[in-house]
Each structure stands twice: as C-alpha cells, then as structure tokens.
Amino acid sequence: MAIIGIEQALTIVDKVIAPKRLTTLQELILKECWLGKTYQKIAQDSGYDPDYIRVVGSRLWNVLSHAFEEKITKNNFQSILRQQSQEKNFFSYGLEQPNGRVPLNSDFYVKRPKEEALTYEEVLNPGALIKVKSPENMGKTSLAIRILNHARTQKYRTVMLNLQLAEAPVLSDLTKFLRWLMTNITFQLGIESQLNEYWDEDLGSKVSCSAYFQGHILEQISEPLVLALDEVNHLFEYPEIAKEFLPLLRFWHEEANNFSIWQNLRLVVVHSTDIYVPLDINQSPFNVGMSITIPEFNFDQVKDLANRYRFQLEVDDLEQSLKSLMNMVGGFPYLIRLAFYALSTQPMTFEELLTLAPTSSGIYRSYLQRHLVTLQQYPELAGFYKDVVSSDRPVKIPTIAAYKLESIGLIKVIEDEAVCSCQLYCLYFQNRL
C-alpha cells in the first residue's frame, strides 16, 4: 500500500473533485479526521457547534463518495485514498522532471546548510569572490541561484551568465568575448549599452572592458552588484581566452582594495573542475576568495528527499532500500532524484530498478549512453578511464585527463589517484570500453 500523508491525500482529493474545491471547513475536517480526532474534538478546537461539524462532515463524505464512485465514510476514507493513490498513480501529479537546476520554489530542493550559510554571509562582504565547484549535476547552479536570491533579499542587483551560451566565434577572440560579456550584463540590468564610447583599441580590450564596467555599469547602480558566472570551466577549452579573462576576474576582485566603487562588485564563479590552463599563481582567481566544494548527499539528505517524493513503496525496510540505492549510485543528487522520479511514475520496485540500473534497459540508460559517446569521441580519455574501471585500486592518470573525467563525475580524485565514482559507472563501462 502506498505511503501517503495528509498533504498527499488532499492533493488526490483536489484532483478527483476538480473543478470543484473543498470548502475551508471541509478541508479542516478532513485534516482533523486524518489525525483521528472525533467530531466533538474538532468542534471544541475550532469553535464550531458539534452538530454543525457533523452535518458538514456528512456532506464531505457524500462529496467524496460521489467523486470516487464508492462509499466513503469517516472510518474508511484513509484506506480508500491510499488504495486510490496506488491504483491510479496520483503521485506523478506535480512532480518535477529531475533535470537541470532546481527552481527556487521547488519542494524537492535539499538544503545544504553549511555551504548556504557560508556563501550567504560572504556575498554581503565588499568585493567578495565566491568559487562554487562540483562535478556535473551535483547542484552547484542550484546553489548559485539561491545565493543570488539571498542577495536580492538585501536589495542587491544580480546578473547570472552561463558561459556555455558564448558561441565559438565569440570565444575565438578576446575582444569579442569581453564585449559579449559586457553587453549581456548591461542587458540584464536594463542599462543602455555604450560600449563603443568606452572601447579604445589603443588601450586594449581588458582596460576598455574594466573602464566600461566601472564607469558605465557600477557608476549607474547605487546597490551592490552580484555577478554569477556559470560553467566557467567551459573557458578551459579556449586557453587563449582563459589565460586573459581569468586574471581579469582577479583584478576586478582586488580593485576593491583600491577603489570603493569596486567593493560593490561581488563575484560568484561556478565551475565543475579545477583549472588546467597554466596561470601565474599571482593572477589566478582560484587561489583567492572563498572556495566551496559541493559534496554528495549523505544518507539523511537522501532520506529527506525520499520523503518529499510521493513514490509508491512496497518495501519492508525503507532505510535498507535507500542504502542499497546509495551503494549503486553514491550520493549524486541527479542520480538519486532520477531514481525517485522513476519510482514515483513507473510500476517498478527498488529491486528491479537496481538490477537494471547498469544495463541498457535501466532508467540511467540515456545518461550513461551520453557519457559513453563522449568517451568514444576521445579515445585517449576512454583509455585512461578503462584503466580506472578495470582496477580495484586507485589509478594514477595524467592530470588533465583526471580533471576532465572528474568534471563530468566519472571519477573521484584521492591524493592524485583516480577511482570510479560509483558502482553504476564501474558495472556499465567495464563491458563497453
């Protein structure tokens, strides 16, 4: 029998009786009866006359009986709603597809109290620079948008740019890239662009860009500006751009020590791997400011998320089932969410999900196939990864290969040696590389 609570029960009722709605008092009676209260107790707690509560209660069961086409009473409504939830799969109602960033208003966002508290405090400091790092699909962008939301509650201005949106021609030339960056910032802030008035070829693109940022953008806004740059690791594939732009970020950060206007700029840099573009240690933005590494979910977080998903469980031991899931996919948020979504919307058990997980028939098939295609496009990288999944001990692989495999989540690096991230990857790729 499906495990549901009163909120899930109300969701089922709302959907079945739509477009009609329960009255406020009917909803109150349903909630209180769910808790086992008598009509007399409900009347006493709510201030209504007991006879009136009985009349409204009787009408409520008639409404539900008509909607569900079977006799529903105060004594059997819980079991019938549980049965209905299982037979008609009501729990797919309102579920989010587990893709991309988790929206601000999502019921499925699992808080990361330590990381959130640190970044929320740091972003309020003049000239702050926050680096948020994790492999793909770990939640770094979801955290970044919450940092920006926190800043907005303090009346700050915010801009978020995903650098993957910069097209190849833009990334082929530093001037084009910096003008693209400034144009996007002014557009999001609603400021008229005056790039040509500030751009001077004799001064160079970095000086022109900084002068525009200071003189045209920061001068026009009285509030602090939080600029979040997502997928900064995309620039590592364009080393000539990265070697010029990344030191510029550090320069802007350090200008807060020299000019008060630059204190209004707060930078949030989001990336999925360590930098593998050679930079002077005194120019890199990655060894200054605050660094936050997004960890995998722990068991308590996975259990919390399980309680938020309304999936149908027929297991004797929920905790053991969750531990088995984590043994397969670790604490990777996307893989966990995908499992819960599948259990909520498809007729399968935990055992069936785990048995098929590393195969071409499992719920992760598309996700795993995308990684396989990526590895096949880069045979040298595939060769290094084959060494990792074929070994039961940590393996030493070249630094850049390790960075790239770590960025897509396929390995973990422990003391400069690589291990497979989770059992799912080991079982799938052992037979395919």
Cα 382 to Cα 106: distance, rounded to the nearest angstrom: 37
Mean pLDDT (the chain, rounded): 89
Residue 285 has pLDDT above 80, yes or no: yes
The tens digit of pLDDT for each residue in 70-82 reads 899 998 888 888 7
pTM: 0.76
The tens digit of pLDDT for each residue in 8-31 reads 677 778 777 877 788 889 989 998
Burial class from Cβ neighbours inside 10 Å (0-12, 13-18, 19+) for residue 181 reads: buried
Residue 104 has pLDDT above 60, yes or no: yes
Task: Please provide the DSSP assignment of 101-163 as one string.
Answer: SPPTT-TTPPP-HHHHHHHHHHTTSTT-EEEEE-STTSSHHHHHHHHHHHHHHTT-EEEEEEG
DSSP state of 96: P
Residue 277 has pLDDT above 70, yes or no: no
Alpha helices in 155-204 (DSSP H): 174-189, 195-198
Q: What is the mean predicted confidence (pLDDT) over 194-217?
A: 95
Q: 243 with 277: CB under 8 angstroms?
A: yes
Tell me which residue has tokens 């707690």.
Answer: 45
Q: How confident is the model at residue 310 (pLDDT cuts 50, 70, 90)?
A: low
Residue 64 has pLDDT above 80, yes or no: yes
Q: 119 with 293: CB under 8 angstroms?
A: no
pLDDT at site 313: 46
Q: What are phi and psi of 348, to 5 degrees?
A: -145, 160
Q: How confident is the model at residue 199 (pLDDT cuts 50, 70, 90)?
A: very high
pLDDT at site 315: 53
According to DSSP, the residues that pair with 95 across neighbouring strands are: none
Q: What is the mean predicted confidence (pLDDT) over 366-370?
A: 92
Out of 3.40.50.300, 1.20.1250.20, 3.40.710.10, 1.10.8.100, the CATH code matching 113-293 is 3.40.50.300
* Domains in the chain: boundaries: 6-92, 113-293, 299-356, 365-429
| SS3 assignment for 17-31 | HCCCCCCHHHHHHHH
pLDDT at site 61: 92
Over pLDDT 90: what percentage of the chain? Answer: 63
Which segment of 88-102, 222-236, 319-333, 356-370 scores lowest on mean pLDDT? Answer: 88-102
The tens digit of pLDDT for each residue in 373-417 reads 999 999 999 999 999 999 989 999 998 899 899 989 999 998 889
Q: How confident is the model at residue 94 (pLDDT cuts 50, 70, 90)?
A: low
pLDDT at site 345: 76
Cα 208 to Cα 211: distance, rounded to the nearest angstrom: 5
Residue 89 has pLDDT above 60, yes or no: no
Which segment of 225-229, 279-283, 332-336 scores lowest on mean pLDDT? Answer: 279-283
Tell me which residue has tokens 């709605």.
Answer: 21
Identity (one letter) of the amino acid at 89?
N
